[in-house]
Structures are given as C-alpha cells and as structure tokens.
Structure 1
C-alpha cells in the first residue's frame, strides 16, 4: 500500500527492499489467499485495483460475501455497475435495504443514464407496488418504455384509484403525458386534462393555451374539452355571450372571471334573474357570505316580481 501511495519515497523503498519483506514478496506478487489473514487491507485494496479482471472481481465479491459486508458489497456493485452485475445488485439491495431506499438507488442509476434495460422495468414494477402514478408517468416520459399488456393493466388499475395532480409535472411534459394517458385510460386522462387547463387558465391567456394543446387534437376523447376552450376564445370578445362564457369559466374553476362575466350580464339584462342566481352561487362557493346573502335576496325579490 505504501508503494502505491508513496513510490518515490526513499524510506518506502527501503522497507520494500528489506529482507524480511522480500521473503513475503511472492505472496504479494501472486496475491495469495493467505493475505486475507496476514494483510487484509492490502489484499482487499489490491483486488479493488484489479477489479477489471473478471477473476479478481469475483474474488473481491466472494470476500465481501464471506465477511457478510453487505453494505460494502452493495457499494462495490454500484461502483462497477453493468448489465452483468446488475441482477446481483438488485438482489442484495432488495434483501438489505428498505423499499424506499431500493427505489432511490434505482432512480440514481437512471439519472446516471445507465443503459440497463431491466433497470427501467424493475423501477416501473416498484412504482406499481407503491401505486405511484405520477412517478410512473415521469418514468414513461423519460424512458419511452413500451408497456406490456400486464403492465398496462396494472397501471390502469392504479389510475382508477388515485388522483393525478398536474402541479407535479412541468408544462412541457404534459404533451408526452396526456397522449399515452388518453390511450391507456381516457376517462382519467379527461379529468387530468381538465385539471391541467384549470391550472393554465390561472397563468396564461386562452390563445396561448389553445396553441399549447394543439397536439392533442388527434386524441378523439380530448376533443370535447378542447372545443370548450376554443369556444371560450370566441366568446371572450362577444359582449352578448358573457353568460355562457361565465359558465365555462366556472366549469374550469376560474371564479373571478366567472363573476366578471355574470356581473356584465346582469348589467345588460337588469330584469333577468339567471346571472343574479349565478352570482349568489359563486359568492357562496368562495366564502363571501355577505355578498352571497345580498345576491340571494335580490334573486328572491326578482322571482317574486316576475
């Protein structure tokens, strides 16, 4: 070890040339197994240096197993990860680590772009076990994994049980998420698209949203929702259609814009109780009790006069 780290030091050379050392040199040159007991630190260090040699790799692997040094063995596998030793790594981390740590290890390997086909399938299966739909979708986006029939069925069952939150995905990913999602589970995809548009309307104008969702026009189940956004675009510049626009804003959770639309409609049609009824409903839903009561009473009075 000293020769490895200080090869040019005279005192190190002196030790190496000492007769007491020379008589053991054959053991070191041959890296004899007896060194496991006589000089374990050197033996292990030298095996690690020679790990590219298959035989020495296996000797170090067996040494760590024999000594039950499972965490060191896992670390060794991670340092030398390849298609051949990946199954051994997976076996040991599944035995010696909790599931969440197993997932973290596999996620780290994917981040390092390890080209191991089984890795993606194994991580997918763990996400399935955890019913983690959002991570499954992220993995599908990253890896372009083609699901088997059984994987598709398992994923669909999870989608029926969970609520996806578009907030967990970046906007530029949504195209990649929604297209396969409409193929796997159209009902869930429609809900997800509706939620996503609701978020977009808080941050972007309708023209930008229509342009952004253009690639989804090829998904037949998405068309009814997309048509509603296009309808909102047309109605936004039509002062005579603010009542319908208000209903659409309400459907997508945009209560402030809906209130503006119904207030405009109320001014245009002072004797029509319908926008008043909607205003009472909206103020109730956003917790403005005083306004809710005022519009409710106005609606009652208008009904009496009708």
Structure 2
C-alpha cells in the first residue's frame, strides 16, 4: 500500500547527557527479545536491545557484525520495516534512556532472574567482548551448581553452549553424565511439562520453530496469557504471509483493533501482502466514507496496490475516484491511474477524460519538453484511444520539426496555457515575417493572458502600426 499513508515512527534517545531524535528504520521480534534500529537526525545508527519490553541496552554502531545476536535477529526474527503502523505499538516507550554500561549487569540482577540474566548477556555481544559475557554466564552457572540447583545450572550451561558452541569447556559440561536425566526430560516431555520447569527455553524453542503448527499454537497461547497482543499479531501475520493461507481474519482483526485503527490495520495487512479488500468486510464501507467526505485521493492510495484484485463491487468507487481526482494527483500517480482505467467500463473511461487529459497535459508541458510529454502520454493513448488532447500533442510534436509552421505550434501552446512557449514560437515567426502584424498581435495577446499589461500594450501598438502599413501599402 502507498507509503504516503504511513508516517515515520519518531523516537528520542538519551545516551549519557546527550539527547538525540531519530526515526525507527526497522525492528525485529525474537521470542522475548526485540531489537530496534534507529537512524538519528545526525545520521548515526543506534541499536536498542529489549527483553520482555524492557530496554536492556543500546549503542551507536557503524555496522552489524556477522554472527552477533543483532545479526541473528534480523535474519531469523519477525521483522517490521518502517513505516509500518505497528511500530509505535511494538516499542513500549518512544522516549528512552540508555542504561549505564558499567552498572548494567548489577542492575539486571535486580530486575530479572539469574537464568534470564544469563540469556540477556548473549544478546549483548555487539556491545561487550564475548569473553566478558562468557565469564558472566559462567559465574551464574557455578552459582547454581554450588547451590545444588542442578536443573538451573543445566539451563544456564545450555544457554552458554548455544552462545559459544566452540567453547570446549561448555560443551563438555553440557554433555556430562550428571545432566543425562535433564537431557531425557527435555527430549521426552511435552511442551506444557517443559514450560512448567523452563518457560524461557520453551518460548525460545517454539519461536525458533514457529512455522510448525504445534509450536505456533502453543507459543500463541503463551503470548495470549501474557497479554502480548502485538506479538500474537506478528506471529499470525508472518504465518499468513509465508504460508499464503489467510485464516481467522475476524479473530485477529478484533485483536488488532484493540490498539490500532481499522485504517492502520488495513495498512498492516497490505504490508504482509494480504488484500484487505478481500478479507475485511469493513474495508469497503471505510473507503465509501472517504469518498463521501471527498477524500478521493486518500481512498485511491488505499486501493492502488490492489487494483488488479478488487471485487467487482468496487467499480463505482473507482469511477468516483477517476472523475473527482485532482489532475496533479493523477499526474503524480499516473502509472496507478493507467491500471485503474483498465478496470473501468468503456463508457465510463471517457467521462470528463478530455478535460482531465487537458489538465494533465498542461502539467506535463510545464515540466517536460514536447517529445517527453508525447512519450508519457503513449500509455494513456493505448488505454483510451481517440483522445483529442493526445492528437493535439502528436500534432505539436510534428510541427516542432518544421520551422515554417511555428505560428501554428504557438497556437497549440496557447491552447495548453503555455504562454511563454507560445511567445517563443510567435517571436520566431515575427523574425521571419517582420512586416506581418499577426505574430505581433498574438504576442500581445499572450502577454495579456500572463497579466503583463505594459508588454501587451506595447506589442498591440506595434501590431496596429504593421496592420496600418499593410492597409496603406
């Protein structure tokens, strides 16, 4: 759907004592985590890491290093690209302060469990040395081990092994005999049973395998219980887009309308390549209300993407848009209007078309040379034949090649309100026929049309004198 309908999502970032404003470029969901990429007014790129909707940390980065968590999320997560209308709801707060880097892990331990802190550490490898993060996770592992909490220590060593698979010590501990029973539990137990013991693991596992129907359903149930409607919608949208199976639209529309408008939801569906005019019964009524309020151009922007896949019942709406759209708007979206015309009945294509094409030709002649205008009008001629305006442009293109017919070309320019170009043609003719009053009087008339009274009067006098000389002679 047309990007003109969508606004950028602005965000303010306070980094130490520096306050910056910028726009969100894209964001991505990865289980409990989110990554947000921001382009500041100074053209710096900031990356913000969230966990359970809490901002964990962020910094300016010149590039994303391959293999880091940020790189992984933007390849394997669910991505929202600006200017998606869901971005403002995806980000909990659009005014953020980046935490103190030196105090970060001590602060994290006061807000999250140690197992969560271990996982959060793995999301920060773009900002901290990997060995530092490994050391942090190791400390948590040994804390659980010394405390006799073997299930917790197993969960943490799994996190470390996934984070640093080449780390020999982590692999040996993860595969050690003492953890065989835990491996069996994870391999043989049901998703609900594992959820009771390790909710973090099960959410991550289901997210990474979310296109599997069982995992998708279970993850959606978890997110629904956690009251995460945005995440539920993103799961559904991705599934529909990838599997090309639009189902349960009413259910997810009701969910979406809890926090965004119907207009925004239509834009969201369009971003996921879902035709809202096929799946939403309310869509047609919304467009009709826009037309009734003379918001024809806004209605057109909603429809353009799906012109080739609109129900037949939209024909009257398309006719209204064609007949009532401003020529400048038609000129700006000419390619879309050419498609629109193909879907109109032949008897409706010609309604007001000569007048609209005249206005369009005027706009084109103001910005382009004659040959370019002729080329731009060819697709219209192929869609609607026998248009007087196009025949005139074609004739003008021929006249332009004949220096002996500049007077005729000037008359055509005058019909298109191109008075300066007409004056140039009449000047040419005046130089060729210095005793002929007609081109001089035409120049006078053009200046009169331009509101240049003094110049018009002067050429009127010259033309009158030439006319008198002819009569006397």
Fold shared, TM-score > 0.5 on shorter chain = yes
Which residue in 2 is equivalent to 1:279? 443
Q: Distance in 2 between matches of 1:24 and 1:175?
A: 63
Which residue in 1 is equivalent to 2:410? 246
3-state SS of the aligned residue for 1:187? coil
Which residue in 2 is equivalent to 1:75? 234
- Residue 210 of structure 1, CA deviation: 4.6
User: Do the aligned partners of 1:198 and 1:254 also contact (CA within 8 Å) in 2?
Assistant: yes
**What RMSD, in angstroms, separates the aligned Cα atoms of the two structures?**
4.4
Q: Which has the higher contact order (CA 8 A, sep 6+)?
A: 2
Q: Distance in 1 between matches of 2:451 and 2:200?
A: 71
Q: Deviations over 1:85-108 (max 9, x none)?
A: 572555543443245643543343
- TM-score (structure 2 length as normaliser): 0.49
- Residue 135 of structure 1, CA deviation: 2.9
Q: Distance in 2 between matches of 1:99 and 1:176?
A: 26
User: Do the aligned partners of 1:265 and 1:275 also contact (CA within 8 Å) in 2?
Assistant: yes
* The structure with more strand, counted as a fraction of residues: 2
Q: Distance in 2 between matches of 1:242 and 1:182?
A: 40
Which residue in 1 is equivalent to 2:260? 97
Which residue in 1 is equivalent to 2:158? 3
Residue 59 and residue 5 in structure 1: after superposition, are their counterparts in 2 closer, same or farther (change >3 A)?
same
3-state SS of the aligned residue for 1:152? helix
Residue 236 and residue 84 in structure 1: after superposition, are their counterparts in 2 closer, same or farther (change >3 A)?
closer
- Residue 251 of structure 1, CA deviation: 2.5
Select 2:305's aligned residue among 125, 131, 139.
Answer: 139
Q: Distance in 2 between matches of 1:27 and 1:260?
A: 85
Residue 182 and residue 19 in structure 1: after superposition, are their counterparts in 2 closer, same or farther (change >3 A)?
same
Which residue in 2 is equivalent to 1:263? 427
Select 1:156's aligned residue among 314, 319, 322.
Answer: 319
Which residue in 1 is equivalent to 2:368? 203
Q: Deviations over 1:247-272 (max 9, x none)?
A: 31122243322112233455637564
- Residue 33 of structure 1, CA deviation: 2.5
1:231 aligns with 2:391: no
3-state SS of the aligned residue for 2:324? coil
- Residue 67 of structure 1, CA deviation: 1.9
Q: Deviations over 1:180-215 (max 9, x none)?
A: 568454235444433443454443444x65566456
- Please, which moves more after superposition, 178-187 or 20-29? 20-29
Residue 193 and residue 222 in structure 1: after superposition, are their counterparts in 2 closer, same or farther (change >3 A)?
farther
- Residue 70 of structure 1, CA deviation: 1.1
Which residue in 1 is equivalent to 2:61? none
Q: Distance in 1 between matches of 2:381 and 2:179?
A: 83
- Residue 239 of structure 1, CA deviation: 5.8
- Residue 232 of structure 1, CA deviation: 1.9
Q: Distance in 2 between matches of 1:199 and 1:52?
A: 51
Q: Distance in 2 between matches of 1:46 and 1:167?
A: 51
User: Do the aligned partners of 1:190 and 1:222 also contact (CA within 8 Å) in 2?
Assistant: no
Residue 20 and residue 217 in structure 1: after superposition, are their counterparts in 2 closer, same or farther (change >3 A)?
closer
3-state SS of the aligned residue for 2:210? coil
Number of corresponding residues: 294
Q: Distance in 2 between matches of 1:168 and 1:58?
A: 45
Q: Distance in 1 between matches of 2:345 and 2:385?
A: 7
Q: Distance in 2 between matches of 1:256 and 1:90?
A: 56
User: Do the aligned partners of 1:246 and 1:261 also contact (CA within 8 Å) in 2?
Assistant: yes
- TM-score (structure 1 length as normaliser): 0.70
